[in-house]
Amino acid sequence: MAVELAGDLPGTLIDNLTIHGFTETGILCIGPRGFRDSISDSEVVLKNLELRAGKPKAVGIRFRSGKNDPSGILIAECRFFGPMAAGIAFQSETHFVTIRESIFAETVGLKFVGANQILRDIAVANNSFFKVSRGIVFSKMPLLKNSNHLSFTDNLFAGIRGPEAVLEVGDPLRFLELIANNGISGNCSSWLQPKEPGKIDLFGRGIRGADFKFVSTNPENARFLEPASGGPHTLAGAVKPKP
């Protein structure tokens, strides 16, 4: 483990950090809590990070409960390079978390692990999932009566070999009860097999079977996954064309 965050951390910023070679967890978050409401904006911010695992069973960022449950977190403009078990794993109740404009390559992007998790106000927007077996995984159904306001918008899934989002145990149709109003839109995927056990449908309003065109598919290139002209995904994904 390279970094540990725990407790009340409103306004904490970790920016422009590279973590390579970790074998279990790159950043361990034990109940970190920021604040996000209509009055203040003091989230815990993890921004512009690059995480490359040293072993395929490792996790880039792992969230667990501590004195508090993780809450008030922003993860933005990060890059997760596998192989590893998950870019980000949530192993606790989680509230008010936004994950945006990040790249997950050759790893499960997000994994929510545990029975009867309470998940509130989780936003997954403008991320790119590249060469993954599954993009977003829920091991079991969150607690329906207490969870709400999940959203998945403008995400890109390229070279994916399985469902963009999957519920391993439970009814994926009931899972949709947790989605916020307009919480699914603008997602683009190259995957052509919409019927799959446990699949959560993120494509009521989106593009499936997209023929993506990128400037580069080399992770070492600064323009990795930047859309080439003429591609179908002008809004989806983490990397935007340069002006």
Model pLDDT for residues 7-63, shown as the tens digit of each residue:
999 989 999 999 999 999 999 999 999 986 655 568 999 999 999 999 999 999 999
Of 146, 147, 182, 184, the residue nearest 165 (C-alpha): 184
Residue 243, C-beta contacts closer than 8 angstroms, at least 6 positions apart = none
Domain boundaries, the chain: 3-208
Please state the rounded mean pLDDT for residues 55-72.
Answer: 95
Question: Backbone phi, then psi, for 137, in 5-degree steps?
Answer: -125, 130
Model pLDDT for residues 179-202, shown as the tens digit of each residue:
999 999 999 999 887 667 788 988
Burial code (b: 16+ CB inside 10 Å, e: under 16) for 33-60 equals bbbbeeeeebbbbbbbbbbbbeeeebbb
Q: What size, in residues, is the chain? A: 243
Q: What is the pLDDT of residue 203?
A: 82
pTM recorded for the entire structure: 0.94
